[in-house]
Structure 1
Amino acid sequence: SFEKKPEHIVAAALDFQGEIYTGRTHADALNALEEVYPDWADMDVKSPRDGFMTSAGRFVERDEAGEIADKAGQLDALGSHSKQRRASEYLDSHDINLN
């Protein structure tokens, strides 16, 4: 029988005014945002929210993304520095195995 893979992290993401920009890293997501809004930093708006996109199409913040990535085994191959950061609930896009 076909087993559904648990929800996992598929991309780093930025939420800018309700629009989601994604990339392999948050820097890539920022580049995608800047293609659409090159002057976003000068706009009178809130800064983009950092987060991640899941396989279920959800935007989640770093703490929830860390829990999802941990349960999905996406942190298993990483070193203790990444796991330590995971414990501090500040997950970085470089911490997650997206392969």
Structure 2
Amino acid sequence: MKFSLRRSDSCLVLLGVSMVFLGIMFAQAHFQRLSDTPSLRRVAVQVRDLRLTDLCLFTEARYTRHLSQTDLYSPFQDHPVSLEHFPAGSIAPPPAGIGEPHGKLD
């Protein structure tokens, strides 16, 4: 008896193999998290003892270092219509209240 695969069969095999690899990746992430827990607890205690405040997410521009402490004009300090040339400026979202009206200026 001759057995031949159709294109859809090979696609299903590829999907099955991919699902197995995805399961392996999730299992590895779970076991890695379990092994990293003591280290993360030590770091959390150190952060609490040193009273560190904000996390520095990006090191490129000062307005992306601490998003909670930025001002609205600092990205345009070089030129009012300058383009964003740091990758972090396109990844970080704008501050929460930037679209709210500030009141009448007249």
TM-score with structure 1 setting the length? 0.23
Q: Which has the higher strand share?
A: 1
Q: Which has the higher helix share?
A: 2
TM-score with structure 2 setting the length? 0.22
Q: Which has the larger radius of gyration?
A: 2
Higher relative contact order (CA 8 A, sep 6+): 1
